[in-house]
Amino acid sequence: MAKSIFLAGAAGAIGRRLVPLLLAAGHRVTGTTRSPEKAEALRKAGVRPAIVDALDAKALKDAVESARPEVVIHQLTDLALLADVNRMAEALERNARLRREGTANLVVAALTAGATRIVAQSISFVYAPGPEPHHEDDRLDLDVEGLRSVSVLGVAALEREVTQTPDIEGIVLRYGHLYGPGTGVDAKPPRGAVHVDAAAHAALLAVDRGRAGIYNVAEDDGEVAIEKVRAELGFDPGFRLSV
């Protein structure tokens, strides 16, 4: 059934691959970006663009309320500085802040607008050391120190907001290491990988399927268990867009 979708991060690596899937399924999509140029590209693709920074709580709330979505999809990241090794700490903190504050803002906006389901991007490479494959109820690496702790704590905050907010069906997709078009990574990582098209397709599937909770979304290479996402969402790690 066609739905009204608010796609936060529509111009990002996964968002760009998700847009055509949502539109082909008949959904009405409002998509966010911070760039006027990217907003125009979204409009040409058939998306109603919203130029907004997720850290601006009021502007985001207004944008979500205007869209009146049934489902909100959270594909927000802030990784522009990650390629500069001298700014790695800044890049990770910016991304973690978006996960903490941007997610909290998005959840509040979704509730106010009457959305009933949130599908959110997380990552599957933050589990604490232990037997593999890691299952969704395995502990995150919350005791780690240094730069990794910034990412792990940001992920933990995002997942709490999405899965523990009353009146919202929160689905968290723990993506593996992305590769494919628009990711900057052409070759498949040796372990714990997921193609960007399969990642996008998992978000499309989660619009209508699956119970609230957390799902590993990766290739079946022994690092994380994907039985749950296969069974409940119908996920296929071999999915690829035709273009």
Place of tokens 């990552």: 123
Cα(42)–Cα(122) distance, integer angstroms: 24
pLDDT tens for 166-189 read: 999 999 999 999 999 999 999 999
H-state helical runs in the chain: 13-24, 36-45, 57-67, 88-97, 103-113, 147-163, 196-208, 227-233
Burial class (CB within 10 angstroms; exposed 0-12, middle 13-18, buried 19+) of 213: middle
pLDDT tens for 33-53 read: 999 999 999 999 999 999 999
Query: Is residue 128's pLDDT more than 90?
Result: yes
Q: State whether CATH 3.40.50.720 applies to domain 4-233.
A: yes
Report the pLDDT value the prediction gives residue 117, as an integer from 0 to 100.
98
Q: What is the mean pLDDT of the chain?
A: 96
Report the pLDDT value the prediction gives residue 107, as an integer from 0 to 100.
98
**pTM (2 decimals)?**
0.97
Cα(195)–Cα(54) distance, integer angstroms: 26
Report the pLDDT value the prediction gives residue 197, as an integer from 0 to 100.
98
Report the pLDDT value the prediction gives residue 188, as an integer from 0 to 100.
96
Query: Is residue 109's pLDDT more than 80?
Result: yes
pLDDT tens for 63-96 read: 999 999 999 999 999 987 767 778 889 999 999 9
pLDDT tens for 193-219 read: 999 999 999 999 999 999 999 999 999
Report the pLDDT value the prediction gives residue 242, as an integer from 0 to 100.
87
Query: Is residue 240's pLDDT more than 80?
Result: yes
